[in-house]
Amino acid sequence: MQLAGGSYSNQSLSGDRGGDVTFRAAVGATVNLTGRTMVQNAHHIVFDGLNFPRSDPNWELQLDSCNDHVTIQNGTGRRFMIFEGNSNITFSNESWGGYSSYGDEDSGIGTTGAVGPTRRCSGVPAPLSRNIVFDHVTFHDVHWGQTIAQSGSHPDCFAIDGYVDGVTIRNSTFQRCANSFIMITPDQGPIYHLTIDHNTFVDLGNDSYYGVQLTDSGGLGCGDFVFSNNSYQPNDPNGNDPYGAPRTECAPALGHVPTQVFGNTFQQGPPSNACAVWRAAPFLSNWHENTFTLGSPCP
């Protein structure tokens, strides 16, 4: 389906035609979805080359619940949210970020309830979201130059708050993130099978302690985290924790394996006391075959 150039206000999509329905701009046209775009209980939808500029106090693109096989590709946006019961969601060749207004919410994966899901799919409680892929996506300029107090939020380029089993972030770039590149904390449900591979992390704000958090601070379950083959250059020697290395405090749930950190090039590794804690029980993080430009006690 080709869209004429111009700006489109609030949109809501649902349904399934049995095959992909693609929404793209007509040749030579620019399409801006200036209102919130809500997708709920929709299957086989492709957004191709569309723009989601700021227009809403929360998120410009909301994948609410019960969606399957939804692809967002070749476009730009500011903030999105993926809620419970979603499966086979792909972001490809996209760019998201560029916001700094007080209280702006970060892009993320979570639930409709503050501490868990509230939606139902096919008449039963929505399951964990599954198979979420980000490939060649740029997350950028999130409250850049601001502190948490100045932003009125927790300014992460991306946040995963839980209730998801299967997230892959690959070949992507995180740059100019005020507090964290990625915040991963199962506050709203478990987080299992997370792979962060072949990405570039560059420029982290001085308000940060950890550029990436792989934790179970919510106590709702985690495991099978892999952080591999990434280039990690925070460039923040004056940060709260200079060069904020990833924090690997996921105590894996029964049947899941500890966090694996390997093949990465880090600007600098974590302090020795942190490394010792993360590698010991109950976390048992496995750091190996990494390179540390400025040194590290966590080989």
Task: Indicate the pLDDT class of residue 153, thresholds 50, 70 and 90.
Answer: confident
* pLDDT for residue 218 is more than 80: no
> What tens digit of pLDDT does each residue of 26-38 get?
887 888 888 899 9
Among 96-105, 130-139, 238-247, 262-271, the range of highest mean pLDDT: 130-139
Give pLDDT, residue 271.
82
3-class secondary structure, 245: coil
Give pLDDT, residue 261.
97
Please, what sign has the CA dihedral across residues 114, 116, 122, 127? positive
> What tens digit of pLDDT does each residue of 46-86 get?
999 999 998 777 899 999 999 999 999 999 999 999 999 99
**Least confident range of 10-19, 129-138, 167-176:** 10-19
Output DSSP code: residue 272.
Answer: H
3-class secondary structure, 49: coil
Instruction: Read off the pLDDT of each residue in 130-158 and give the average, rounded to a whole number.
Output: 94
Q: What residue ranges do the domains of the chain occupy?
A: 65-292
* pLDDT for residue 137 is more than 80: yes
Contact present, 169 and 144 (Cβ < 8 Å): no
Contact present, 220 and 186 (Cβ < 8 Å): yes
Contact present, 62 and 80 (Cβ < 8 Å): yes
Give pLDDT, residue 96.
98
* pLDDT for residue 11 is more than 90: no
Whether the link from the prior residue into 282 is cis, omega within 30° of 0, is yes
3-class secondary structure, 282: coil
Which candidate, 299, 254, 255, places its Cα nearest to that of 279? 299
Instruction: Say which residue, 229 or 24, is predicted with more confidence.
Output: 229
CA–CA separation, 54 vs 79, rounded Å? 8
Give pLDDT, residue 18.
79
